[in-house]
Amino acid sequence: LSEHLATPLALREHDQALIDRVSGLDKALKDDRAAADTAAKRIQLSYLVEEYRQAKHAHDVVDFADVLRLGHQLSRRSDVQEIVHDRIRMTLLDEYQDTSVVQAEMLAPLIGEQGSVTAVGDPLQAIYSWRGAGANAMADFGQHFGDQQGKPPLVLPLSTSHRSGINVLNVANDVAEPMRAQSGQVVTLRPAPDGPQGPRRDGVRAALFETYREELDWVGCRIAEQIDVGTDPSRIAVLCRVTSDFAAVLEELHSRGIPAAVSGAEGLLAQPEVTDVVCMLQVLNDPTDNPAMLRILMGPRMRIGPRDLALLGVRATAIARKSRVSRLPQAKDGDASGAVDFTESIRGTDPADLVSLAEAVDDLGPRDEYPYSDEALVRLTGLSRELAELRSASSLPLPDLVSRVIASTGLDVEARLEAYTATQFNANPPQRGIAAIQALHELVNAAERSMEDRTLGGFLNWISVIRRVNRDPQFEVPAPVGAVQVMTVHKAKGLEWDVVVVPFLSQSVFPSTKARSKWTTNMRELPHPLRGDRDSLPSFVGFGTKAHKIFGDGMREANADEERRLGYVAMTRPTRLLLASGHWWGPTQSKQRGPSELLHAVRDRCLEPSAVDPWIAESQFQSNPVSGIGGPSSWPPNLESLGRDRRLAASELVREAMRAEADRVSPPAAASLTDFEQEVLRDWDVDIEMLIAERSFRGASAELELPRTLSASDFMAAYVDRSGFLARKARPMPQKPSRAALRGTRFHSWVEGHLGQRPLFEELPGASDDELFTEEEMVDLRHGFLQTAYAERAAFAVEVPFSIVLDGLVLKGRIDAVYRDGDRWEMVDWKTNVAATADPMQLAIYRHAWSQLMNVPLADISGVFVYVRSSEVVRYDDLPDLAQINLAGEGDLR
């Protein structure tokens, strides 16, 4: 509603009119009645929207939709317009094709008719219509920002590409051809003029395989070839249509020793290790989350088979039936339609009435009624104990709870074992598992910084929003240095690589044939007449079979256009080489796929026959050759064959060593030892093995890379003990909750209020000292601060965030306060601990950041620690130069 400036009242009026029209038809067809039923549900939903808005207003909270809606209302006020007009006379809008209707409507009055506005965008890259940015944004620019005389805006086509050569651009132009006839704004791309090195050399290559597995093998081979001829792996990208393909691509690359990493939260959440942790968290938060529980049960740890799963489902249903009280809403008397008020169903559902697989795991039932296999019984009983232990820890701070889940499931051990076994078999140790766990911790930290509800439920809701709106939080995914990037095409927009691989260009995959839901059948969809981008969407006119068919065909064509635009984005990412592929048979599909129109577009532009790799024009199979249909298959399916093979090989080495040990002849001296002495020797052997393992673990941590992004706290920890810092990052342990954090946070909030700034949280050391906090102590801290000269001085800035780049690493933090005295600057940090033991390296970080932010010499910046308990001020005029420290080098940073 907010994205399109529609009100709940307007929605009700529209849908009620539709219901009235259907009820007045002489003969309403099934599709007509379905549209009316959907409209009735949407009317009920509109009242819930109003209740939700009222609840937010009562609690003084807003969400992103409110920001847009209220921002649009403010932009209509003349006093707001005058303020903006006085400050801004010229506006440049970049990536304008991604602008939503409400954003354009909000900007127009703020810019005004006297303002100058320029928009840069590409209508062929309008790929976010599902997020409110319609495909007609560029075409409608003149309607929003036209002058009083109705003169159309000046349009300057940008048709020269400085990224790609003629061969790649030919593919892109062919993909865009069907849309060129629909819009005069679509231009034909041409390469930039030849430079001193001559014409840009680029190429395209295509392949079509029988199976998904064969295609993956080709992707790995081609990437390995590019790396062998000198291409930096970080200059190679694999662009997928959906995140579900990430795991297979990553496994293929890692099996070849090629470092690879996913990009963004969306990709991180698709990794198996992270999915397992999130599923455990979902079950801890909501025992009725059966999809998450099913993932755990079918996963590589539990491996519960179909027979035992069926028994568990029967048991869960029986438990729910026993506790269920009839709460389902019934149709009112006289209501022949049997319609149900689903809003009452939402309000009246008791979680205890729902079928819960987790509850069945805790209560497996009598063995004679539920004859689980022996293996399943052991695993389910162990899972029940594990969940019980984790539930008892669910009140821990979120980072500690996540660490507890990772440790409980053994995912950190599995990740290290994966790297260790690869090393033993002379393979490059894969870093996917370790990097995924590190990235998950970064994601949790990002969530804590941005969430008000820092509970488990709040975190899971936060993840749900990220997935739904496809917006990444500000966090860094720690990736191996020089890694191939794996991401979705949506994430790749605006980026470029030397070599781009676009796999899985098969029918129904890419372009996807899954059309956006129709508003006539989905109550969550806003009717097109109420949308701001309605001119770019198909209209629903009339009723009857023909009207619904025309509307459905229009929706499919609109989806096809968006998929073509997405394909255009993918094809325009490479600077040197485009590799595209497809397959006939997916990993589980029962129907043939074959090449999509996008793959044909690439193949048609392959200049040399050798540029077309194996191309299976017709599949020789009538059914999927790899799905196992009609034949025996293992259950659950093997989710990671490479890791399993390596673990089996490692276990065989252990067996061989055990056999060799058994065959070894004991030295004669051993026969003279007593039983007690032999027991002591065995204990010593165990101790020695543990010490060797610990030394190996500590040595391995030195091989890890520093994360690309470091907080100031992380930098200081790595500065003191790099190897220890990396070891803690690789396997973070839960931290004991401390009330000292409350002390630091409350005091800093009070100081910021005293200095006239809104409260924010501190990120650097000093807010989490080890003494307990009391209200009396807070009074002492305030009194101590007021005794310093800084209490009466006006701060130049308070709580200044910074993000600086040093030696290829991003260093982030926040400066407590900045004071200015003529040309001199003071970086001030408040300390609430008793002992004056703070590390001046923290002030050196502030100093370097402020020098970059304000472009002032380091010599003009000093640092100050204010120990507010004692009112002591410690000044540092000669701080170390951060630029002289080898951040990315080996060993400790000192």
**Residue 729's pLDDT is what?**
62
> Between these two residues, 383 and 412, which has the higher pLDDT value?
383
Predicted local confidence at residue 242, as pLDDT:
87
Highest mean pLDDT among 689-703, 721-735, 849-863: 849-863
Number of helices (H), then strands (E), belonging to the chain: the values are 31, 17
Average the pLDDT over 251-257 and give the result.
Answer: 84
Cβ atoms 255, 220 nearer than 8 A: yes
Average pLDDT over residues 519-530: 88
Whole-angstrom CA distances from 524 to 43, 44, 466, 685 are 11, 11, 18, 66
DSSP 613: E
| 194: three-class secondary structure by DSSP | coil
Alpha carbon separation from 238 to 273, 491, 519 (Å, rounded): 20, 11, 34
Q: Which of 578-587, 646-655, 750-759 has the highest mean pLDDT?
A: 578-587
Confidence at 748, pLDDT banded by 50, 70, 90:
low
Q: Residue range 664-689: average pLDDT?
A: 69
pLDDT top residue among 146 and 55: 55
Per-residue confidence (pLDDT) for residue 319, from 0 to 100 = 81
pLDDT at 338: 42
Residue 13 has pLDDT above 70, yes or no: yes
pLDDT score of 754: 59
Residue 716 pLDDT greater than 60, yes or no: yes
Q: Give me the pLDDT at residue 852, please.
A: 82
- Quote the CA–CA distance of 463 and 466 in Å, as a whole number: 5
pLDDT band at 339 (very low <50, low <70, confident <90, very high): very low
The token pair that represents 570 in the structure block = 């993918």
Position 828 scores a pLDDT of: 92
Q: Is 728 a residue whose pLDDT tops 70?
A: no
- Residue 740 φ then ψ, to 5°: -65, -30
pLDDT band at 894, cuts 50/70/90?
very low
H helices of 664-774, in order, are: 668-671, 675-701, 712-720, 722-730, 740-754
Q: Which range has the top average pLDDT, 79-93, 180-194, 458-472?
A: 79-93
HEC profile of 17-76? HHHHHHHCCCCCCHHHHHHHHHHHHHHHHHHHHHHHHHHHHHCCCCCHHHHHHHHHHHHC
pLDDT-derived band at 191, boundaries 50, 70, 90: confident
Q: What region does 511 belong to: left with phi over 0, alpha with psi -120 to 50, or beta?
A: beta
Residue 662, pLDDT > 70, answer no
In this prediction, residue 197 carries a pLDDT of 53
| Percent of the chain whose pLDDT exceeds 90 | 13
What is the maximum span of the chain, computed from C-alpha positions, in angstroms?
A: 110
- pLDDT at position 349 is 45
Q: How confident is the model at residue 148 (pLDDT cuts 50, 70, 90)?
A: low
**pTM of the prediction?**
0.64
Highest mean pLDDT, choosing among 94-103, 228-237, 264-273, 706-715: 228-237
**pLDDT tops 70 at residue 77:** yes
Distance CA 496, CA 203 (A): 15
Q: What is the pLDDT of residue 360?
A: 87
| Region of poorest pLDDT, from 65-79, 118-132, 700-714 | 700-714
Scored b (16 or more CB within 10 A) or e, 173-205 reads bbbbeebeeeeebbbebebeeeeeeeebebbbb
| Domain 203-257+485-615, CATH among 3.40.50.1580, 3.90.320.10, 3.40.50.300, 3.40.309.10 | 3.40.50.300
Question: Contact 127/525 with Cβ under 8 angstroms?
Answer: no
d(CA 541, CA 520): 11
Roughly how many angstroms between the first and final C-alpha of the chain, as a whole number? 56
Q: What is the pLDDT of residues 420-476, one digit of tens each?
A: 665 555 555 455 666 677 778 777 877 776 666 678 888 888 777 766 655 555 555
Q: Output 222 or 352, whichever has higher pLDDT.
A: 222
Assign 849 to helix, strand or coil: helix
Is the confidence at residue 767, as pLDDT, over 60? Answer: no
pLDDT band, residue 502 (cuts 50/70/90)? very high
Pull the structure tokens for residue 827: 């970086």
| More confident site: 230 or 855 | 230
pLDDT band at 207 (very low <50, low <70, confident <90, very high): very high
Average pLDDT on 471-494 reads 71
Mean pLDDT of the chain: 77
Per-residue model confidence as pLDDT tens digits over 615-630: 888 888 888 887 654 4
CATH of domain 268-327+350-469: 1.10.486.10
CB-side neighbour CA atoms (13 Å) of 239: 28
**pLDDT at position 862:** 93
Give the per-residue pLDDT at 742.
Answer: 44
Confidence (pLDDT) at 256: 85
Give the pLDDT score at 732: 52
Checking if the pLDDT of 340 tops 70, the result is no
| Residue 753 clears pLDDT 70, i.e. is over it | no
Is the domain spanning 730-884 CATH 3.40.50.720? The answer is no
Judged against a pLDDT cut of 70, whether residue 370 lies above it is answered with yes
Whether 513 shows a pLDDT value over 50: the answer reads: yes
Is residue 832 very low, low, confident or very high in pLDDT (cuts 50, 70, 90)? confident
Tens digit of pLDDT for each residue in 391-423?
888 778 888 888 888 888 887 777 776 666 655
Q: Tell me which residue of 848, 817, 851 sits closest to 831, measured CA to CA.
A: 817
Q: What residues contact residue 490 under an 8 Å CB cut-off, 6+ apart?
A: 127, 128, 470, 566
Average pLDDT over residues 784-801: 83
pLDDT the model gives residue 543: 84
